[in-house]
């Protein structure tokens, strides 16, 4: 195992009607003037925004609203939020939504802390952040784990670049998690979220070094749990217990619990999907499902022990003397079968996009730049490797 620092400062309020406590939580963390940031009309139609505003009003906390965040959140909306926040003297960002809303809120919070600088410079890796206004969240989608993570992903819609920036100073002060709030999601979005949760765990699992038995057992338990309840939700979307299990798994999958003691993870699949999302605006979790099987078949020989363990401990493949390679490949195949059972794609054509070879090369070149020339732990991938994985995924 490797040494590690585990830092999870986010206060979690989990359970029914938690959003009614949001005013007290904002006050607890020093917020006096709040920007309520949210996505589509469902948060309004469901009455959630009204409940949040009422909770803030009970504490005498000023608030303004900005909706319209889209999946693969846009830099343009971030800039709109920055101006609105400045005009109203905002000192606290309250994200009401999923990962896209939380990430958009984090980006606004970075910008408010350094108003004389362009926030996109963080995502271009031109400088580190020196400050960040406080962020809290009311989670409505179990997927990204942004409610407890240090990560933030924004899409520059003008350049089709989807880029991430990670910094502990942006970790939310609190996360309100009421599983009932996720019941309005379409099945495709629910299952895409389950896929994203699993991939956050798998990115940290398929590594070349520093593995700890206890970390592996936690990761494998999260994966098995999400698979079980993803299939239940596919048939019974109103199941509260299933939604609760998935919601909590989403937070544990991306607060770095499943990375303790290893080398930090692989994350090639995520980086390659960012390019796919930037170019074609696909749903993030579904894009990950479309890339992962090809990535796995490209790298498994260099990371055989991990793929064998995954096949046996997570996918339930029996070791009957057929050899490590056969076990590893059967584990990948079983993963594809699971994706299909919950309505997820296993290649880009099933995702609904068929990039030309020129577009594939462009995505790979952009990914290479974003990664600093190479990326990976299971197998370090360079430009040509990324091109081949994209081609395999077509």
Query: What are the boundaries of each domain within the chain?
Result: 11-181, 185-393
Convert the pLDDT of each residue in 81-119 to its tens digit.
Answer: 999 999 999 999 999 999 999 999 999 999 999 999 999
Query: What does the alpha-carbon distance between residue 22 and residue 174 come to, in Å, rounded to a whole number?
Result: 9
Q: What is the mean pLDDT of residues 150-179?
A: 96
Among 152, 40, 158, smallest CA distance to 93 is for 152
The total of other beta-carbon atoms located within 10 Å of residue 340's CB is: 13
How much is the pLDDT for 209? 82
Q: Are 233 and 246 in contact (CB under 8 A)?
A: yes
Q: Could you read off the pLDDT of 278-308 as tens digits, one per residue?
A: 999 999 999 999 999 999 999 999 999 999 9
> What does each C-alpha distance from 101 to 67, 74, 107, 247 come to in angstroms?
9, 10, 10, 16
Cα separation, 343 vs 352, in Å, equals 13
pLDDT at 211: 87
Give 255's pLDDT tier (boundaries 50, 70, 90). very high
Q: Check residue 57 and give its pLDDT.
A: 98
pLDDT of 40: 84
Same fold, 11-181 and 185-393: no
Give the domain 11-181 fold. Rossmann fold (3.40.50)
383-393 helix and 284-299 helix, angle to the nearest 10 degrees: 110
pLDDT more than 90, % of the chain: 97
Across the chain, mean pLDDT equals: 97
Residues sharing a CB contact under 8 Å with residue 191, sequence separation 6 or more, in sequence order: 230, 233, 234, 285, 342, 343, 344
Q: Determine the Cα–Cα distance for residues 204 and 215; give it in Å rounded to an integer.
A: 10
pLDDT computed for residue 50 by the predictor: 97
Distance from C-alpha of 189 to C-alpha of 183, rounded to nearest angstrom: 11
CA atoms of 361 and 355, how far apart (whole Å):
10
Sign of the alpha-carbon torsion through 237, 188, 99, 116? negative
Does residue 198 carry a pLDDT above 90? yes
Q: What are phi and psi of 75, to 5 degrees?
A: -60, -35
The CATH classification of domain 185-393, taken from the options 1.20.1090.10, 3.30.420.610, 1.20.120.530, 3.40.50.740: 1.20.1090.10
| The two structure tokens encoding residue 128 | 């580190």
- Please tell me the total number of residues recorded for the chain in this structure: 394
Q: What is the pTM of this model?
A: 0.93
Q: Are 262 and 207 in contact (CB under 8 A)?
A: yes
Contact between 157 and 68 under an 8 Å Cβ cutoff? The reply is no
Q: CA nearest 117: which of 130, 105, 104, 106? A: 130
d(CA 244, CA 308): 30
At 42, the pLDDT band (50, 70, 90 cuts) reads: confident
């Amino acid at each position: 195992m490797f040494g590690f620092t585990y830092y999870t400062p986010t206060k979690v309020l989990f359970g029914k009607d938690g959003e009614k406590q949001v005013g007290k939580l904002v006050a607890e963390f020093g917020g006096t003037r709040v920007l309520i940031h949210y996505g589509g009309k469902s948060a309004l139609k469901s009455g959630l925004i009204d409940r949040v505003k009422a909770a803030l009003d009970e504490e005498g906390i000023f608030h303004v609203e900005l909706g319209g965040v889209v999946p693969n959140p846009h830099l343009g909306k971030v800039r709109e939020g920055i101006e609105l926040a400045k005009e109203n003297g905002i000192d606290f960002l309250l994200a009401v939504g999923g990962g896209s809303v939380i990430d958009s809120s984090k980006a606004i919070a970075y910008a408010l802390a350094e108003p004389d600088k362009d926030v996109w410079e963080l995502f271009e890796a031109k400088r580190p952040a020196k400050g960040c206004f406080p962020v809290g969240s009311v989670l409505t989608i179990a997927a990204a784990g942004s409610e407890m993570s240090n990560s933030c992903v924004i899409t520059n819609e003008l350049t089709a670049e989807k880029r991430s920036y990670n910094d502990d100073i942006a970790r939310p002060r609190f996360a309100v998690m009421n599983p009932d709030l996720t019941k309005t999601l379409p099945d495709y979005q629910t299952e895409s979220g389950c896929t994203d949760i699993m991939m956050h765990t798998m990115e940290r699992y398929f590594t070349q070094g520093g593995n700890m038995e206890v970390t592996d057992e936690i990761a494998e338990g999260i994966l098995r749990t999400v698979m079980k309840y993803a299939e239940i939700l596919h048939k019974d979307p109103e199941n509260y217990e299933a939604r609760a299990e998935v919601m909590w798994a989403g937070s544990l999958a991306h607060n770095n619990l499943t990375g303790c003691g290893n080398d930090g993870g692989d994350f090639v699949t995520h980086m390659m999907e960012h390019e796919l999302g930037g170019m074609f605006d696909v749903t993030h979790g579904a894009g990950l499902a479309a890339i992962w099987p090809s990535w796995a078949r490209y790298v498994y020989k260099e990371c055989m022990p991990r793929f064998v363990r995954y096949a046996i401990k997570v996918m339930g493949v029996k070791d009957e003397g057929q050899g490590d390679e056969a076990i590893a490949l059967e584990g990948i195949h079983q993963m594809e079968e699971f994706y299909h059972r919950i309505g997820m794609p296993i290649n880009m054509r099933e995702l609904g996009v068929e990039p030309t070879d020129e577009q594939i090369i462009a995505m790979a070149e952009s990914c290479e730049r974003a990664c600093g020339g190479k990326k990976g732990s299971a197998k370090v991938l360079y430009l040509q490797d990324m091109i081949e994985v994209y081609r395999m995924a077509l």
